[in-house]
Structure 1
């Protein structure tokens, strides 16, 4: 027996000092829950990348330079154009008066003055050739094509006047969903106070609206999956143990461990991201494993006739080392994610590993005194001994594992999902935000937000970047918001005016309408050094390959080194590159750590060899299942691979540890049935944690749940079939 198992007579301490132990655990859990309740969920992709990623560095630099990037598009519609126009004007006036400066920079409801200015100064936006053509068509060169429309209508009017759009520009970016939700709520409150007339509908669209909608969905899904997981896990435990008190003991120990875990996350990391927000069910499903093994062994001894103190002592001493190493194996797989720079992986790994460690600690600190206090009534029954698998069954199991393993090897390398539609919210297209987004897009396009943001340091760099973008023949880049497109140089203005015989003073930046000046003026007063390239007709924003192609095209323009490039698509491309780089590294480290712990546990023994082969069987089985079902990985479901490696070491370790204990005690295979049942229950609770994710509204969360479920099934096969079969064949030989 190792020194770790004999340092303290923990069973005796847990029995005689149960009240202070439980009081301390309850107090610490209450404090931990209060701390964990302050965790916030951040869902933007920029928080998943390392802080020094080029696109993130550029994003922060551009955010500091730009006055704002976030907009809310407010649509007002009715069957009567006059009613629509009247309410739109009333709403815009109310928004200007009611929204505070920290939420609203400006409300833009009419671009007619801007268009009138440029129609009065056509040489700013028309080339020399276009001006000559206009001169040939019109007698007055200052009002090109305005004879039939002397007072242009608002550019924010569509559907023959039945639809109006207001653009609310905010003094913050798209990556701040809390502020975006506050702005959206304030706009809705203003609309409610105005009591829209009968037949007038008001809707909202834009990146702020989409981000707020998806943020709310994540929070809703976190709550739903947590409740589902709790109910299902408790139900399975009640069915298995057939004892409400046993379930209460397990739930108490698990609750303490989970509270400690998320309090640690609050202190060490400070927030949850779109990956770690769903760790609750997984921490619970995996963290309860050690408690199940301990409780199962305790009940086994009680049913054999041992009194409480003796049964608890045997259960603790016989399970302490195997469960410690099994939990360490799973935690090591999680810790392997710390080797990556991708924060979705590293933070997930840190919290999951802490969860395994703290839940194991809570199991041995809290469960023994709880079992003492609850005083489980155990009805003795005849203990059925276990038998080793027959040689035929062992051979069949190994052959099946080899076949699955070969299929898994042929499926390498793992494939990634290309269609991003499958990863988004399934309710968004049918939601109010999705419907209004399509309606406003159809009338006004997508030039209010989004695109590739490019920050230069000088007017010369602006002209260089603009020239390269305009020369691109790919069709990826569409409309380009750049000051030279609206305000050519003095010499160029004079040259254009000369082509139509016009003698006017060239327009300077100070002559431009105030909204234009404000849009191009940076926080430090510099003007016109930031460009926005909006997506063109050839841009495929729902495809990973399409986004990579666009970002590659932009970065391939060989712009000066000090030019900053960022935007949602650039960040996503960098994120996928980090994922595909991080996954192999995490997988190798995870496998090395899992195998190392198996060697520590078993050394050069039959069980050690069986454990190493079981890890391979579990991982290759998952890969084979992914390939057979056509499941492709994404930035989130890739996490399932290193997690599966950890579980592939965890479950067989418990099985083989019991086989070795029984062999050394001269009773080979005696406890195989009981331990196998406990491992099956461990797998069931973990599988529930993954299965509830399939109810998520977000496709990326569902894909992670499915990939992890396939890995769980493969690891269970490796533990219950492959590991005993290999041990049986090795003993026979």
Structure 2
């Protein structure tokens, strides 16, 4: 394998024009294929189509249409001005072609007026009994001939027990706010809800509809609603657009910063613009080829693969540092350019190929994940690592061959070997450094029980974006979530079964329930209204006889409300407020089978989403089928379950795959274990360091662990394989390889570290954790591991020396050894 690499490099060195022409053609084809790549930040698309939550979302969009709203928020006006703004804006938004309907008023007054129809006939009789008892008591006290024999209090007209019995349901939650508008006088805020036709996952439609809403808002004379009045947009559609814009901005900033930092480091490392260009040329070609393949296979990038350019660039530059450093040293020893190229690619290139194969295998293990963000990251990164090696073999020797034909030679300062001062310290204090390193690692391992996983969904979506913050304020103003879960049913009978079962589960779980309330169109229309109306008429006759003067203020208000409620006429689904009917109207019209489940927990809490999924799933319909529950909360729950289940398996698989690959390529299990030692120890130290740094794993940065396994093992391979040479000198190898290892790890850290500049919290945490890992591995490779290798080599030499000395003594004793002169001689 090493010989083949050297021969290919020498061939491309002799025929540079042909090699560079091939690289140019492949790069042009790659760029053409990649020019239409787009970013897809939709979380639903990160799960396989086979998942129940994904299929349910698609079915929901077909039957129900868009989930979520375009929400216009007017602020800093008095209540009258806020109401006028909502009244003025609603018809203009409803006229937009992409808007199904607009909601500005609550259904609370309607349901409060008809609240008594939701009581059972038995409870209505109880209301009638209490009122009748109070009336008899009042009549007795009004009779001048009545003499009370006790001081019994008046029969109570307190119905709080019945209110508690029926509290927590859809009726009480929908009628709890006394305001008719979605208005908060204290915050001076009003909300206008516009329901689009298409899902917010369609970013083209989202941009179009939000743009049309913005155009309508620009035409408004906001001064009519007060001097400080202003407006904002939030809701599912605006949140998706803001998240997409944030990630796109992060990609641009991180990639640019990574490129500049890598360029600056290479200039510092080689002190030659030409050498920097030689290193970057293969990286540029390899990235063009890789993204060309991505364009052909996937056609788009996701939340993680969007940043692979910066990451692969950093990892690819590492190979160039090792290869160019070795080439310069060989030229400094007087070797010709082609011979130096062959030698560099034979040994250093062989080590680079081993490390690339190991890294690629690790990434491919990550590519077995069902989580699309991980799977595509693993596949693209694995292919990219192999493509970068191919690019180096094709491009770098050709560039060196072309430059040598033009008479270029490395400067003497580039080829001069300088002894590393740290190497002398390691040789003198190897035992002490090994012991201190072992104590530090052991101390960090004691922190492992404090290591935690963060279940906050903010690692997938930035909850601190302005639209996300305002959306939470809108949810609080409305009183319940804007985006409920939807249980898909096919009949009123199935609706009733689902509502009963979910209400029973909510009651059984009590305070631990994750469901706020459950509503269906049928559940909002009480049964047996004709019979209840007769009871209400009897109650009305009794209420007319209750003397108002005998009641205190609150009881008088309650009496007035009761008189209004008993006069309410029965109603049907067609009589419900338009805003209520429209929420249950799918593409098939109203009543096509939906049950809305409103969560009571924060939907950014991954653990709470798992509990919610368990509570609402598994409802059996009358025909034996399980009810289908749709909503992004279900997607979040599946992501949490999948990452929690797959992470340990991927970590174990990556470790075993790396060990097996190194065993096969290096030809020795002992050598493979030795090369893997610094990676394993530095990872263990990283895990212990995380609690001290208040760092936690999350749904995205968990992939850093298998990535570090694959990308840091090459440093051990380079050092061990160079020291394994019989003619190797420790100080020379350490000085040369240590500098390359340091440069390689730093450029790799720059690739991942660019994510540290991302505003997106999940991507930011990947950059932070990766940098901690690379920093720990750098300390391990520059200090602890070389000291350990020196200590082990000393023990090996002593073990070999003991049998040799014993053998010589045995030969002398038998008179077969060399004649030793006596002291007299």
- Fold match by TM threshold 0.5: yes
- CA gap of 1:456–1:9, structure 2 versus 1, over 3 A, is closer
Contact 2:619 2:627 in 1 (8 A): no
**For residues 682-720 of structure 1, what are the alpha-carbon distances to aligned partners after superposition, in whole Å with 9 as ceiling and x for unaligned?**
111111122221221121112111211122123223433
Correspondence list, 1:426-505, <5 A: 427-428=464-465, 431=466, 433-434=467-468, 436-437=470-471, 439-447=473-481, 449-471=482-504, 472=506, 473-474=510-511, 475-489=513-527, 492-501=528-537
Q: Secondary structure at the match of 1:690?
A: helix
Q: Secondary structure at the match of 1:274?
A: coil
Counterparts of 2:438 and 2:49, CA distance in 1: 44
- CA gap of 1:669–1:131, structure 2 versus 1, over 3 A, is farther
**For residues 353-396 of structure 1, what are the alpha-carbon distances to aligned partners after superposition, in whole Å with 9 as ceiling and x for unaligned?**
11211111111111222234456552225434687885664334
Measured on the aligned residues, the alpha-carbon RMSD in Å equals: 3.3
Contact 2:14 2:338 in 1 (8 A): no
Match of 2:411 among 379, 402, 420: 379
Contact 2:47 2:372 in 1 (8 A): yes
**For residues 516-569 of structure 1, what are the alpha-carbon distances to aligned partners after superposition, in whole Å with 9 as ceiling and x for unaligned?**
444323334572522122123xx2444333333333333477776420123222
1:562 aligns with 2:626: yes
- CA gap of 1:598–1:201, structure 2 versus 1, over 3 A, is same
Contact 2:206 2:238 in 1 (8 A): yes
Residue 621 of structure 1, CA deviation? 2.2
Contact 1:305 1:380 in 2 (8 A): no
- CA gap of 1:551–1:562, structure 2 versus 1, over 3 A, is closer
Contact 1:648 1:718 in 2 (8 A): no
Q: Secondary structure at the match of 1:478?
A: strand
Match of 2:192 among 153, 161, 166: 166
Contact 1:652 1:718 in 2 (8 A): no
Q: Which residue of 1 aligns with 2:552?
A: none
Bigger Cα Rg: 2
Residue 76 of structure 1, CA deviation? 2.6
1:224 aligns with 2:253: yes
Counterparts of 1:157 and 1:126, CA distance in 2: 29
Counterparts of 1:647 and 1:78, CA distance in 2: 54
Residue 497 of structure 1, CA deviation? 2.0
Q: Which residue of 1 aligns with 2:549?
A: none
Deviates more, 1:592-601 or 1:294-303: 592-601
1:355 aligns with 2:384: yes
1:289 aligns with 2:322: no
1:107 aligns with 2:140: no
Residue 411 of structure 1, CA deviation? 4.8
1:26 aligns with 2:58: no
Q: Which residue of 2 aligns with 1:416?
A: 453
Contact 2:359 2:711 in 1 (8 A): yes
Match of 2:92 among 86, 94, 115: 94
Instruction: Extract unaligned runs of 5+ from structure 2.
Output: 133-177, 538-565, 797-825
Counterparts of 2:665 and 2:470, CA distance in 1: 60
Q: Which residue of 2 aligns with 1:10?
A: 9
Residue 722 of structure 1, CA deviation? 4.2
Contact 1:76 1:203 in 2 (8 A): yes
Q: Which residue of 2 aligns with 1:365?
A: 394
Contact 2:663 2:671 in 1 (8 A): no
Residue 222 of structure 1, CA deviation? 0.9
Deviates more, 1:578-587 or 1:466-475: 466-475
- CA gap of 1:293–1:109, structure 2 versus 1, over 3 A, is same
Residue 310 of structure 1, CA deviation? 2.8
Q: Secondary structure at the match of 2:219?
A: helix
Q: How many residues end up aligned between the 2 structures?
A: 702
Q: Which residue of 2 aligns with 1:142?
A: none
Counterparts of 1:27 and 1:550, CA distance in 2: 54
Q: Which residue of 2 aligns with 1:344?
A: 373
- CA gap of 1:213–1:390, structure 2 versus 1, over 3 A, is closer
Counterparts of 2:427 and 2:271, CA distance in 1: 34
1:579 aligns with 2:615: no
Residue 3 of structure 1, CA deviation? 4.7
Contact 2:3 2:346 in 1 (8 A): no
Contact 1:69 1:174 in 2 (8 A): yes
Residue 313 of structure 1, CA deviation? 2.6
1:277 aligns with 2:315: no
Q: Which residue of 2 aligns with 1:623?
A: 687
Q: Which residue of 2 aligns with 1:534?
A: 598
- CA gap of 1:649–1:131, structure 2 versus 1, over 3 A, is farther
**For residues 49-93 of structure 1, what are the alpha-carbon distances to aligned partners after superposition, in whole Å with 9 as ceiling and x for unaligned?**
232223223222222221321211112345355554444444333
Q: Secondary structure at the match of 1:155?
A: coil
Counterparts of 1:594 and 1:486, CA distance in 2: 60
Correspondence list, 1:688-707, <5 A: 688-707=750-769
Counterparts of 2:187 and 2:356, CA distance in 1: 65
Residue 571 of structure 1, CA deviation? 1.8
Q: Secondary structure at the match of 1:634?
A: coil
Contact 1:644 1:715 in 2 (8 A): no
Q: Secondary structure at the match of 2:370?
A: coil
- CA gap of 1:123–1:40, structure 2 versus 1, over 3 A, is farther
Q: Which residue of 2 aligns with 1:49?
A: 47
Q: Which residue of 2 aligns with 1:553?
A: 615
Residue 107 of structure 1, CA deviation? 2.3
1:712 aligns with 2:712: no
Counterparts of 1:5 and 1:673, CA distance in 2: 25
Instruction: Extract unaligned runs of 5+ from structure 1.
Output: 138-151
Counterparts of 2:599 and 2:603, CA distance in 1: 9
Contact 2:459 2:700 in 1 (8 A): no
Q: Structure 1 length as normaliser, TM-score?
A: 0.87
Residue 425 of structure 1, CA deviation? 3.0
- CA gap of 1:496–1:624, structure 2 versus 1, over 3 A, is same
Q: Which residue of 1 aligns with 2:716?
A: 652
**For residues 568-613 of structure 1, what are the alpha-carbon distances to aligned partners after superposition, in whole Å with 9 as ceiling and x for unaligned?**
2222222111112111111111111211232234333764442132
Counterparts of 1:666 and 1:434, CA distance in 2: 60
Residue 330 of structure 1, CA deviation? 1.2
Q: Structure 2 length as normaliser, TM-score?
A: 0.78
Residue 300 of structure 1, CA deviation? 1.3
Q: Secondary structure at the match of 2:102?
A: strand
Residue 327 of structure 1, CA deviation? 0.8
Counterparts of 1:213 and 1:481, CA distance in 2: 31
